[in-house]
């Protein structure tokens, strides 16, 4: 354990002076790569299909769990989504308690309330039923309960001393891939800043990809979360920490998203498309577990914090700009991805890397347009750019191994383009009206 702890200190070092930024970022990237090899990360047992929830419950029961703490949110609970699990548990004589207090971007209070209820009900395991916020909250409840500590004590890298209580996940959206990842994000109520806990023991024991649960997801959420999957895969593929394993999962996710996301968006009841998107989200989570993310997420996190934009939509807004930035340094990698994901047009097999990379970027732009995702950031203000750019640069320096490093001024140039695009769109809408 000594080596990972020394790595965590290196990764968390906060020296962002402009002159040394690039050297520091590259050093941290090497540390993160070493961390991913030194610390093993398990994968959850994966059940897929219309009976997957029952199979997950059978595994839970076979592990001698008898009083399940179900973590979800109020909307999903009101829609009866957890019933597929609770009805099955009823049929098997298994006790359970439903906690539906999770909110978007869950806070420490949300997690603490869950910890209190878990203890009061004397539960012995957790099933998360929901999107990324629900699964993140469930991870923090499980780890806090397993370590008998407050969630704040788990913020950082490898802060836990013991495993979590048994945790199982049923994602209701094909987006975050949180059911496969080793991290969880919690927000501070006062500062509204997001805090990250990273530990391989946070990975759930099992996950169920059930397309019947996902089929009711609205089209706009299908689009937003689907682009989140695509972004995970693309950033993992372009990462300096990518390897043969992460490449397999990233390329598989990209291929699935390009084929099945439009189908799921057009017809939410298409169970084949829902299932394939659920698997793609899971694969994307596995890919960025080790390879990491990049500037799309770093900037999107800030747009969400400042302007309340849903995470997947923020990714969709930023993604084309970062692909353009990375194009020159990553053109060979992007061309290889396009070929591997079956995105090279018939008769274009002999095209240059430049042409194939450009085609991939054009295809991503076309997909986002097809999904009718709002490309604007309402209320964006240039007075926020310094703070946004600084926070995004710090996130990348602290956490990711990107192919092209950007200065704060270069990040602000991207923000300016987003601001201009937003203004132009609003002007055009006014003219049409």
40: its two tokens: 């093993």
Residues 100 and 168 reside in one and the same domain: yes
Residues 189 and 226 in one domain: no
The stretch 163-182 carries a mean pLDDT of 94
What is the model's pLDDT at position 346?
52
352's CB contacts (< 8 A; 6+ apart) are none
Pseudo-torsion of CA 422, 315, 308, 411, nearest 10°?
Answer: -70
Confidence of residue 105 (pLDDT cuts 50, 70, 90): confident
Give SS3 for 186: strand
pLDDT at 399: 81
Burial class from Cβ neighbours inside 10 Å (0-12, 13-18, 19+) for residue 197 reads buried
The helix/strand/coil state of 420 is helix
Range of the domain at 106: 45-214
Interatomic CA distance for residues 278 and 174, integer angstroms: 5
User: For the segment 106-121, what is each residue's pLDDT rounded down to a tens digit?
Assistant: 999 999 999 999 999 9
- Quick one: average pLDDT of 70-89? 96
pLDDT band at residue 1 under the 50/70/90 scheme: very low
Same domain, 201 and 336: no
| pLDDT for residue 217 is more than 50 | yes
Q: Provide the domain count of the chain.
A: 2
In a domain, residue 71? The reply is yes
Is residue 317 in some structural domain?
Answer: yes
Are residues 310 and 246 part of one domain? yes
pLDDT-derived band at 424 (thresholds 50, 70, 90) equals confident
Question: Does position 101 have pLDDT exceeding 90, yes or no?
Answer: yes
Q: Do residue 177 and residue 260 come from a single domain?
A: no
- Residues 186, 280 share a domain: no
Q: Which token pair is 427?
A: 């002007």
- The answer to which of 33-37, 98-102, 272-276, 373-377 has the lowest mean pLDDT is 33-37
pLDDT of 328 reads 85
Find all residues with CB under 8 Å of 292, minimum gap 6, and list them.
32, 235, 236, 239, 241, 399, 400, 401
Q: Clarify whether residues 207 and 306 are in a common domain.
A: no
- Give the Cα separation of 149 and 243 in Å (integer): 36
Residues 237, 125 share a domain: no
Instruction: Look at residues 161, 180, 214 and tell me which one is the last residue of a structural domain.
Output: 214
Do β-strands 167-171 and 95-102 pair in parallel, antiparallel, or remain unpaired? unpaired
Answer yes or no: do 278 and 292 share one domain. Answer: yes
Same domain, 171 and 293: no
User: Quick one: pLDDT at residue 13?
Assistant: 39
Q: Which pLDDT score is estimated for 426?
A: 54
CATH code at position 113 = 3.40.50.1970
Residue 166 DSSP one-character state: P
Q: What is the pLDDT of residue 5?
A: 37
Query: Is there a domain that residue 205 lies in?
Result: yes
* Per-residue CA distances from 55 to 81, 88, 170, 280 (Å): 17, 10, 11, 20
Please determine, for residue 433, whether its predicted confidence score (pLDDT) is greater than 70: no
The predicted structure's pLDDT at residue 256: 97
- 25-50 mean pLDDT: 70
Q: Which residue has the tokens 């699990």?
A: 85
Does residue 226 sit in the same domain as residue 262? yes
What pLDDT does residue 18 have? 45
Which among 95, 198, 101 has a CA at the least distance from the CA of 140?
198
Residue 244 and residue 199 in one domain: no
Please write the tens of the pLDDT for every residue from 313-322.
999 999 999 9
Residue whose structure tokens are 């308690």: 97
Q: State percent of the chain over pLDDT 90.
A: 70
The residue among 398 and 88 whose pLDDT is bigger is 88
User: How many CA atoms within 13 Å lie on the side-chain side of 67?
Assistant: 8
| Domain membership flag for residue 93 | yes
Of the residues 214, 239, 260, which one is the last residue of a structural domain? 214
pLDDT confidence of 68, banded at 50, 70, 90?
very high
CA 260 – CA 280 distance, rounded (Å):
10
State the pLDDT at residue 260: 98
Q: What is the pLDDT of residues 201-216, one digit of tens each?
A: 999 999 999 999 999 8
Where residue 31 falls among pLDDT bands split at 50, 70, 90? low
In a domain, 12, yes or no: no
Per-residue pLDDT at 21 exceeds 70: no
Q: What CATH number did the domain enclosing 377 receive?
A: 1.20.1090.10
Indicate the residue among 214, 241, 267 that finishes a domain: 214
- 14 pLDDT tier (thresholds 50, 70, 90): very low
Taking CA atoms, 308 is separated from 265, 315, 353, 379, in Å, by 23, 13, 38, 10
């Amino acid at each position: 354990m000594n080596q990972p702890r020394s790595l965590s200190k290196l990764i968390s070092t906060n020296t962002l002076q402009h002159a040394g930024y690039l050297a520091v970022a590259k050093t941290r990237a090497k540390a993160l790569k070493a961390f991913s090899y030194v610390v093993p990360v398990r994968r959850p047992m994966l059940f897929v299909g219309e009976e997957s929830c029952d199979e997950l419950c059978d595994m839970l029961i076979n592990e001698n769990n008898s009083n399940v703490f179900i973590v979800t949110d109020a909307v999903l609970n009101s829609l009866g989504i957890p019933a597929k699990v609770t009805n099955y548990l009823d049929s098997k004589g298994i006790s359970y308690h439903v906690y539906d207090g999770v909110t978007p971007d869950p806070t420490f209070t949300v997690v603490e309330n869950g910890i209190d209820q878990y203890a009061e009900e004397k539960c012995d395991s957790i099933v998360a039923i929901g999107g990324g916020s629900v699964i993140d909250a469930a991870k923090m409840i499980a780890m806090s309960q397993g370590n008998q500590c407050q969630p704040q004590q788990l913020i950082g890298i490898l802060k836990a001393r013991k495993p979590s209580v048994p945790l199982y996940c049923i994602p209701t959206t094909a987006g975050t891939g949180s059911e496969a990842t080793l991290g969880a994000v919690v927000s501070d109520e006062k500062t509204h800043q997001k805090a990250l806990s990273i530990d391989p023991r946070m990975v759930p024991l099992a996950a169920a990809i059930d397309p019947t649960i996902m089929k009711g997801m609205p089209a706009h959420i299908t689009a937003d979360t689907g682009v989140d999957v695509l972004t995970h895969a693309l950033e993992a593929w372009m990462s300096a920490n990518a390897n043969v394993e992460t490449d397999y999962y990233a390329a598989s996710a990209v291929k699935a998203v390009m084929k099945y996301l439009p189908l799921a968006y057009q017809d939410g009841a298409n169970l084949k498309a829902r299932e394939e998107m659920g698997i793609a989200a899971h694969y994307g989570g596995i890919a960025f577990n080790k390879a990491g993310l990049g500037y799309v997420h770093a900037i999107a996190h800030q747009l969400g914090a400042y302007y309340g934009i849903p995470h997947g939509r923020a990714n969709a807004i930023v993604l084309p700009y970062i692909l353009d930035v990375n194009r020159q340094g990553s053109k060979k990698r992007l061309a290889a991805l396009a070929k591997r994901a079956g995105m090279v047009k018939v008769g274009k097999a002999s095209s240059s890397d430049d042409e194939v990379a450009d085609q991939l970027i054009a295809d991503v732009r076309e997909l986002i347009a097809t999904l009718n995702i709002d490309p604007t950031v309402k209320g964006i203000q240039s007075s926020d750019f310094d703070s946004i750019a600084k926070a995004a640069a710090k996130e990348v320096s602290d956490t990711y191994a990107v192919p092209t490093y950007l200065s704060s001024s270069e990040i602000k140039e991207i923000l300016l383009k987003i601001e201009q695009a937003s203004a132009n769109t609003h002007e055009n809408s006014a003219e049409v009206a």
